[in-house]
């Protein structure tokens, strides 16, 4: 079974700082799902917030996949229980499913609002009803985990990890989550595609990190390495990582990613890590 998972944000949104072609068309979605199944990729990652991604997926036969979706940030709503159930039922309807493998909180900081305990109990209720097998959280920083796991228990954690953003490893949370038997799903492995661009093609707003891009390009060129292979080899080297979420625009791109994931690099990766949240958190890029 492949450790890759198919990310679907591009199925519903014009997503990614390097995206020049917009949303994936529906025929390409079907082709990619077929490629994923053929290569034993059994997990699909989507979200209510990914435009019409759930609806597009629901037009295909996805019954053999483990589907994970995400509940959007909490509305100012005192009836949290009904709101969560309504959100989940909407996902099931759009996806054409009776239940999901997992559902995550897209904004886990909602757990620390006055409705936090109700929100958590509502997630547990989804499991009790058999509507989801596992519940989890999607975080942007390991610092969020420090607080969350003091008060709550979850089955899945989705977090960024890439050759630049190594916080999950360096904080110790990669090992801790594994010891707690929590599934670890990694995203942002290509940093929205920045790590796949030639240095001269990286948007100018990222010029302040030009030393980093230079070191990365030097490593790629000197060692004649495919950057996709290099990017994937970092998270996949950790046995603790259960799934690495990847997105693609078409079946050819997906096949290239799958082939790269099966390659073991014979040389060490460069140390180009950074803790600068202006760079490693795409949510901050609009302010650059």
Q: From 259, 143, 200, select the one nearest 246 (Cα to Cα).
A: 259
Cα Rg of the chain (Å, integer): 19
Residue 29, pLDDT above cutoff 60: yes
Strand partners, 137: 105, 157
Q: Provide, rounded to the nearest whole percent, the portion of the chain with pLDDT above 70.
A: 98
Residue 45: per-residue pLDDT: 98
Q: What is the pLDDT of residue 135?
A: 98
pTM of whole model > 0.85? yes
pLDDT digits (tens, 9 = 90+) for 247-257: 999 999 999 99
Q: Are 108 and 139 in contact (CB under 8 A)?
A: yes
Res 53 pLDDT > 60: yes
Contacts of 153 (CB under 8 A, 6+ apart): none
Alpha carbon distance 25, 30 (integer Å)? 9
| Domains, in order of start, for the chain | 4-287 (3.20.20.100)
| pLDDT for residue 16 is more than 60 | no
What mean pLDDT, rounded, does the chain reach? 94
32 HSE (CA, 13 A, CB side): 28
The pLDDT value recorded for residue 52 is 94
For residue 18, pLDDT beyond 60: no
Per residue in 79-134, pLDDT tens? Answer: 999 999 999 999 999 999 999 999 999 999 999 999 999 999 999 999 999 999 99
d(CA 109, CA 223): 42
How many CB atoms neighbour CB 252 within 10 A? 13
Q: Is the pLDDT of residue 14 over 90?
A: no
For residue 76, name the pLDDT band (cuts at 50, 70, 90).
Answer: confident
Taking residue 200's Cβ as centre, other Cβ atoms within 10 Å add up to: 7
The pLDDT of residue 19 is above 60 = no
Using an 8 Å Cβ cutoff, are 178 and 251 in contact? Answer: no
pLDDT computed for residue 265 by the predictor: 83
Q: Which tens digits make up the pLDDT trace of 191-241?
A: 999 999 999 999 999 999 999 999 999 999 999 999 999 999 999 999 999
Alpha-helix residue ranges (DSSP H) falling in the chain: 9-12, 26-38, 53-58, 80-95, 116-128, 142-151, 167-170, 173-179, 210-223, 227-236, 251-261, 277-280
Predicted confidence band at 21 (pLDDT cuts at 50, 70, 90)? Answer: low
Dihedral angle at the C-alpha atoms of 197, 202, 203, 205, nearest 10 degrees? 130
pLDDT of residue 75: 82
pLDDT at 15 over 60: no
């Amino acid at each position: 079974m492949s450790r890759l998972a198919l990310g679907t944000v591009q199925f519903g949104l014009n997503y990614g700082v390097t995206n020049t072609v917009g949303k994936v068309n529906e025929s390409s979605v079907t082709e990619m799902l077929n490629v994923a199944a053929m290569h034993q990729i059994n997990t699909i990652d989507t979200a209510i917030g990914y435009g019409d991604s759930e609806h597009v997926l629901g037009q295909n036969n996805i019954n053999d996949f483990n589907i994970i979706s995400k509940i959007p940030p909490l509305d100012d709503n005192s009836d949290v229980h009904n709101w969560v159930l309504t959100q989940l039922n909407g996902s099931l309807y759009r996806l054409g499913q009776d239940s999901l493998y997992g559902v995550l909180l897209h904004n886990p900081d909602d757990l620390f609002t006055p409705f936090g305990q109700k929100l958590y109990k509502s997630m547990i209720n989804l499991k009790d009803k058999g509507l989801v097998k596992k519940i989890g959280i999607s975080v942007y920083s390991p610092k969020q985990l420090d607080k969350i796991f003091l008060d709550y228990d979850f089955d899945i954690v989705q977090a960024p990890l890439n050759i630049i953003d190594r916080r999950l490893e360096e904080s110790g949370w990669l090992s801790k989550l594994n010891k707690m038997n929590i599934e670890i799903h990694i995203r942002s492995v290509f940093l929205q595609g920045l790590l796949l661009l030639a240095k001269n093609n990286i948007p100018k707003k990222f010029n302040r990190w030009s030393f980093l891009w230079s070191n990365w390009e030097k490593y790629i060129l000197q060692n004649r390495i495919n950057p996709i292979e290099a990017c994937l080899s970092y998270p996949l080297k950790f046995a603790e990582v259960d799934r690495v979420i990847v997105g693609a625009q078409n079946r050819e791109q997906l096949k290239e990613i799958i082939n790269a994931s099966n390659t073991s690099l014979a040389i060490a990766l460069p140390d180009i890590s950074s803790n600068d949240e202006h760079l490693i958190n795409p949510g901050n890029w609009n302010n650059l």
